Amino acid sequence: MTDSQHPLRFGWLSPCIGNRWSDFKPIVVEQAKNILPTVNGPFDSVWIADHFYGFESKTDPFVEAWTALTWLAAKLDDVLLCHHVLGHGYRPPALTAKMAATLQVFSDNRFMLGIGAGWRGDEYEAYGYDFPKPSIRFAQLEEVVEICRLMWTQDYPSFEGKYFSIDEACAPPLPQVTPRVCIGANGPKVALPTAGRIADMWHGGAKDVDSWVAKHEIVKASAEAAGRDPFSIETGTTLERALPENDAESDALLDEVAAFRNAGVDHFVMDFGNPLDLEPIHRFVEQVMTPLRAAE
For 125-133, what is the mean pLDDT? 97
Residue-wise pLDDT for 48-91, tens only, equals 999 999 999 999 999 999 999 999 999 999 999 999 999 999 99
Q: Domain-by-domain residue ranges, the chain?
A: 9-294
User: Mean pLDDT in the chain?
Assistant: 97
Q: Say what the pLDDT of residue 241 is.
A: 97
Assess contact for 196 and 229: CB atoms under 8 A.
Answer: no
Instruction: Please state, in angstroms and rounded to a whole number, the distance separating the CA atoms of residues 50 and 3.
Output: 33
**pTM (whole model) above 0.85:** yes
Residue 206 reports pLDDT greater than 90: no
Q: Into which CATH architecture does domain 9-294 fall?
A: Alpha-Beta Barrel (3.20)
Assess contact for 14 and 28: CB atoms under 8 A.
Answer: yes
Concatenating the DSSP letter of every residue in 82-100 gives: EES-EEGGGS-HHHHHHHH
pLDDT band at 4 (very low <50, low <70, confident <90, very high): confident
End-to-end alpha carbon distance in the chain: 6
Residue 3 reports pLDDT greater than 80: no
Q: Say what the pLDDT of residue 1 is.
A: 54
* Helix, strand, coil share (%) of the chain residues, nearest 5: 45, 15, 40
Residue 199 reports pLDDT greater than 70: yes
